[in-house]
Amino acid sequence: APGAQEFVPDTHDLKVLADAARGCRGCDLYQDADQTVFGAGSARARIMFVGEQPGDQEDRAGAPFVGPAGKLLDKALAAADIDRTTTYVTNAVKHFKFTRADGGKRRIHKKPGRTEIVACTPWLTAEIETVRPEVVVCLGATAAQTLLGTSFRLTEHRGEVFDLGTDGALSGVTAPTRVVATIHPSALLRGPSEDRAQGFDALVADLRVAAELI
Ligand code: URA
Ligand code: SF4
């Protein structure tokens, strides 16, 4: 597959981008998912959140972060005094990747591979160039490595402020955007419940770092 670039229209109109993304065949993931889950939110957002890829509920709804991880993100945003309606929320990869379990009834999330991430980044680049946020918050290692390079280690550098122009790994981005990486809300949900309160507080602390940049 060719990657998304040939499907990305030359525009800074989010609606036109989202419509075009419905027809993307830049990698194989469009084949089994229900639909493209493009980013959503304010075109004038000063903060953009980037997750990994849509999950089961996002694939059904056609919107990012509406399932369990999205609910936890909403709680963390509220705790950090960030109004989600003023933000833009998207994912590194725009189609749900999964395997089936229980005789096909249950769809289990699979991590996107390097090929799919690289194939899909032209959409993320277009979103960043269109919204031109002051800060991008990477939720989890997949988003962080997409923006900051594959050698980026979340455990060592979460909550630090980077510059997308000088530290970034996305080509074609000219927006003067800073980047903060933090843990993915799903990682808190998967982890041991006794670690959850502390993990949540650390997530909120990183979100505050980002909010203070704007
Ligand atoms: N996890 C993500 O990374 N993105 C979503 O949209 C939902 C869950
Ligand atoms: Fe296109 Fe991205 Fe979907 Fe692959 S995952 S088909 S590159 S939108």
Instruction: Check residue 1 and give its pLDDT.
Output: 72
Residue spans of beta strands (DSSP E) within the chain = 40-41, 47-51, 88-91, 98-101, 106-109, 135-139, 161-163, 178-182
Structure-block tokens of residue 12: 């800074």
Q: Provide φ and ψ at 68, rounded to 5°.
A: -55, -40
Cα 20 from Cα 143, distance rounded (Å): 22
Mutate to test the pocket of ligand 1, among 50, 52, 74, 109 (most ligand atoms within 8 A of CB): 52
Q: Is the CB of 89 under 6 A from ligand 2?
A: no
Per-residue model confidence as pLDDT tens digits over 46-72: 999 999 999 999 999 999 999 999 999
Average pLDDT over residues 40-46: 98
Averaged pLDDT score across all residues of the chain: 97
> How close is the Cα of 59 to the center of ligand 2, in Å?
13
pLDDT band per the 50, 70, 90 thresholds, residue 29: very high
The answer for residues whose C-beta is within 8 angstroms of residue 164's C-beta and 6 or more apart is: 128, 136, 147, 170, 173, 175, 176, 177, 178, 179
> How close is the Cα of 57 to the center of ligand 1, in Å?
9
The answer for residues whose C-beta is within 8 angstroms of residue 4's C-beta and 6 or more apart is: 21, 24, 26, 27, 119, 120, 121, 122, 123
Instruction: Check residue 118 and give its pLDDT.
Output: 97
Instruction: Check residue 172 and give its pLDDT.
Output: 86
Average pLDDT over residues 180-201: 96
Mutate to test the pocket of ligand 1, among 60, 93, 146, 186 (most ligand atoms within 8 A of CB): 186
On the question of pLDDT at 11 being above 80, the answer is yes
Q: Look-up: residue for tokens 């705790």?
A: 79
On the question of pLDDT at 42 being above 90, the answer is yes
Q: Which atom of ligand 2 is nearest to the CA of 53?
A: 5
Instruction: Check residue 106 and give its pLDDT.
Output: 93
Per-residue model confidence as pLDDT tens digits over 12-21: 999 999 999 9
Q: Is the CB of 26 under 6 A from ligand 2?
A: yes
On the question of pLDDT at 210 being above 90, the answer is yes
Percent of the chain having pLDDT more than 90? 95
Ligand closest in space to the Cα of 97: 2
Instruction: Check residue 171 and give its pLDDT.
Output: 86
> How close is the Cα of 96 to the center of ligand 2, in Å?
9
Q: Is the CB of 138 under 6 A from ligand 2?
A: no
> How close is the Cα of 91 to the center of ligand 2, in Å?
11
Give the pTM: 0.98
Q: Which atom of ligand 1 is nearest to the CA of 91?
A: 4
**Would you say 54 and 96 are in contact if contact means Cβ atoms under 8 Å apart?**
yes
On the question of pLDDT at 2 being above 90, the answer is no
> How close is the Cα of 96 to the center of ligand 1, in Å?
9
On the question of pLDDT at 192 being above 90, the answer is yes
> What 3-state DSSP class applies to 36?
coil
Please state whether 41 falls in left (phi above 0), alpha (psi between -120 and 50) or beta: left
On the question of pLDDT at 22 being above 90, the answer is yes
Could you tell me if the ipTM is greater than 0.85? yes
Per-residue model confidence as pLDDT tens digits over 105-161: 899 999 999 999 999 999 999 999 999 999 999 999 999 999 999 999 999 999 999
